[in-house]
Chains A and B, each alone.
Chain A
């Protein structure tokens, strides 16, 4: 393991802690996760990257009790998802990859209310919470739309509204943009950025450019946590990137080749740096 915990924000209490987590799927010879430990402080925005089969989705499912670890322990807002899954699910919401398969109800507002219904929230309080969540993702006027008539980005925003309605402190985003086109991705990423101030976020993705502003990035490969780095250090470590099948986006790749820092994320940043250097 390389530089464990570099960049961890000091102070603040823990939102999530994982201790020495191991998990194997029944009938599989190779563990899906082995000996994974890390913590999320309240208010942190942490990315998770790594190749397919590296353990990312297993980790996500251990965090809310969809799976239980073979050994090790998870603690989410003071609760263990293996023994109190329903308590944990009030505090931690997961946004999955394919919104098409996560929306339950035939209308947008009914779907947003689904989590509240499950928690037994009294009806008089529901209307306001549903309306608030729909506003938070910018879908006012979509209340009576049917999910199958929405674009991918809109569906994912409905799914996000469904999570926000129950007001969890922690959001886990499980490759939420991988099924979306460029416009849908932008639309959804904007919402995540807006949530940063109030939530603790764990964002699993294949796209490093989505994590340029993250506090830390965890790299999972072969079921092990192989790095826990700041974006600056991860993006500049060509060997680490290559070993984990991570591909740098075009702008940081150009920047590195030109001997500039890899954290120049946008074309504007890079052009400015080149212009400044040429003068």
Chain B
């Protein structure tokens, strides 16, 4: 049941880290992975990631399932590289298709990089509760408040989005069922026709979302919400020594990856 971006609630040292440390480490890795230009370097980072996954007590199979949604993109990217690169010795030819060793190497390298990017981001969301994630983001963005950046509002929007995504998902399923009962068919015809057949689902879904937004705004106001000023937080963020260590470890792994 795990899918990309879903929280996997178990107790582990990785889950326990301050969300800010994890967000920063993820950001460092995501940017840094573009500086790693050798397959050996990527493999080293991959090994470190595998160690972290083991430490997070998320079953390997569940974690690999996170990657499934991007496999198609990975396969396409890799195939393009393999087919269009003319570098290195020819491995085989078939009509106008030529596969070279350089292409294979590049395809593998790019596929690995994408999988690592997704894996790193997936580890963050799988080990960090959504509320902790938004609290962390709000906190990291708060220095920008002085530049009038609405850090609290952005975080509140994310919290609400996280709260309502499953609700709207259920609603979409229900509306699809109701229209199917009225003879709608969502699998027939070409892409245009299929897109059109979604109108009877998207219109009521949107209307419903606006109604929900209205009611939510009333409920929030009634409960005394008036923006971020003077607000306290239920969840406590504490940046401890091990959070600093985790961050330092990430930077170290990345440095080794770049140098390899």
The answer to whether any beta carbons of A and B sit under 8 Å apart in the complex is: yes
Q: Which residues of A contact B (CB under 8 A)?
A: 61, 64, 66, 85-86, 89-90, 93-94, 96, 98, 100-107, 109-110, 113-123, 126, 130, 144, 146-148, 159, 162-163, 166
Contacts of A106 in B (CB 8 A): 129-131, 159, 162-163
B231 touches A118 (CB 8 A): yes
In the assembled complex, the Cα of A118 lies from the Cα of B215 at a distance in Å of: 18
A118 touches B131 (CB 8 A): no
B223 touches A162 (CB 8 A): yes
For this complex, 11 residue pairs linking A to B, each with C-beta atoms less than 8 Å apart, are: A94-B222, A101-B216, A105-B131, A107-B131, A115-B223, A117-B232, A120-B231, A122-B232, A126-B234, A148-B170, A159-B219
Query: Given A115-B224, A118-B225, do A98 and B163 touch, yes or no (CB 8 Å)?
Result: no
How would you classify the secondary structure of chain A's contact residues: helix, strand, loop or mixed?
helix
A114 to chain B: closest residue by CB: B223
Contacts of B221 in A (CB 8 A): 66, 85, 89
A101 touches B131 (CB 8 A): no
Partner among B167, B222, B226, B235 whose Cβ is within 8 Å of the Cβ of A100: B167
In the assembled complex, the Cα of A146 lies from the Cα of B167 at a distance in Å of: 11
In the assembled complex, the Cα of A62 lies from the Cα of B231 at a distance in Å of: 25
Query: Given A106-B130, A147-B163, do A96 and B218 touch, yes or no (CB 8 Å)?
Result: yes
A118 touches B162 (CB 8 A): no
Partner among B129, B218, B236 whose Cβ is within 8 Å of the Cβ of A107: B129
Q: Check: B143 CB closer than 8 A to any chain A CB.
A: no
Contacts of B216 in A (CB 8 A): 101-102, 104
In the assembled complex, the Cα of A98 lies from the Cα of B213 at a distance in Å of: 12
B9 touches A144 (CB 8 A): yes
Q: Contacts A104-B163, A107-B129, A110-B234 known; list 9 others, CB within 8 Å.
A: A66-B222, A96-B215, A101-B212, A109-B234, A115-B223, A115-B224, A117-B231, A118-B231, A147-B163
Q: Check: B182 CB closer than 8 A to any chain A CB.
A: no
How would you classify the secondary structure of chain B's contact residues: helix, strand, loop or mixed?
helix
Contacts of A146 in B (CB 8 A): 166
Contacts of B224 in A (CB 8 A): 86, 89-90, 115, 118-119, 166
Interface range on chain B (Cβ under 8 Å from partner): 20 to 34
Query: Given A117-B234, A118-B231, do A64 and B222 touch, yes or no (CB 8 Å)?
Result: yes
A130 touches B234 (CB 8 A): yes
How close is B154's CB to chain A, nearest CB, in angstroms? 15
Contacts of A96 in B (CB 8 A): 215, 218-219, 222
Task: List residues 187-231 of chain B with CB under 8 A from any CB of chain A.
Answer: 211-212, 215-216, 218-226, 230-231
Q: Check: B148 CB closer than 8 A to any chain A CB.
A: no
How close is A1's CB to chain B, nearest CB, in angstroms? 29
A110 touches B219 (CB 8 A): no
Contacts of B159 in A (CB 8 A): 104-106
| B22-38 vs A, Cβ < 8 Å mask (1 yes, 0 no) | 00000000000000000
B134 to chain A: closest residue by CB: A106
B236 touches A123 (CB 8 A): yes
A121 touches B232 (CB 8 A): yes
| B140-163 vs A, Cβ < 8 Å mask (1 yes, 0 no) | 000000000000000000011011
Q: Check: B61 CB closer than 8 A to any chain A CB.
A: no
Which 6 pairs show the lowest CB-CB distances between chains A and B?
Answer: A102-B219, A113-B234, A101-B215, A118-B224, A148-B166, A115-B223
